[in-house]
Amino acid sequence: MTEVVRLTNVHKWFGDNHVLKGIDLSVSRGEIIAIIGRSGSGKSTALRCMDHLEIIDEGEIMVCGHTFGAGMRSKDLKRLRLDVGIVFQSYNLFPHLTVEQNITLAPRSVRKMPLSQAQDVARRVLTQVGLLDKLLFYPEQLSGGQQQRVAIARSLAMDPKLMLFDEVTSALDPQLTAEVLRVIETLASEGMTMVLVTHEMAFAMRLAHRIIFMHQGRVHESGPPDILRNPGTPELRDFVSNGL
């Protein structure tokens, strides 16, 4: 299978805090990886490094054919961002723009897509996330779950090769969480390559091809979803004891 993501001996410091301590990780095309771990384990930092939102201090990263190393800016950050979609816990929608305008902004400004074509794309991706009827609504008129689904649609509008999700349901109640997780499951069924940082253990077990458990800045344990039922280390056993 074609490798889409590869982290090799990746280190990251924030001041004196050594957050990533030699991360090695690969993701193949069509694979779904769930990264789990306690707060402060480095999982979100690892995800942000994949999109070059954080610059690594040691090691090398390859994402969708773009390679960058310690202290380096990607030679073509714009092209990298065209290939990678990322969705955060906060929706980051522009409140003064409609749903349609939020989604068409990047295709028009970055891909130089004509307005009519961008509007067609907006309708397509909103249909994917089940929100076509909200096309002309403003973010404040939507629930949290609907706003998060619009944020996913906005990323999909750029036709990414890789989707990154960083705790996208952590601010939502159970009902709204279920709405968003159904959208991610649909993307999975369509073959999208995804890396998810999540605290939803049951969801990770059901969806992911592979689980990465991070502990104290390292990949402490990894394997198929069954490792959540049969942890190989005391640290993972302790972590999942309250999560399943």
User: Per-block average pLDDT, block size 10, for the chain (244 residues)?
Assistant: 92 96 96 95 95 92 89 71 90 94 94 95 95 96 94 94 93 87 92 94 92 96 95 94 67
How does pLDDT run across 12-24, given as a tens digit for each residue? Answer: 999 999 999 999 9
Query: So what's the pLDDT on residue 75?
Result: 61
pLDDT tens-digit readout, 23-37: 999 999 999 999 999
Number of compact structural domains in the chain: 1
In sequence order, the β-bridge partners of residue 61 are 7, 68
Domain extent for 195: 3-240
Model pTM score: 0.93
The CATH number linked to 164 is 3.40.50.300
Note whether 32 and 194 are within 8 A (CB).
Answer: yes
In sequence order, the 6+-apart residues with CB closer than 8 A to the CB of 230 are: none
Alpha-carbon distances, residue 35 vs 167, 173, 242 (angstroms) = 10, 21, 17
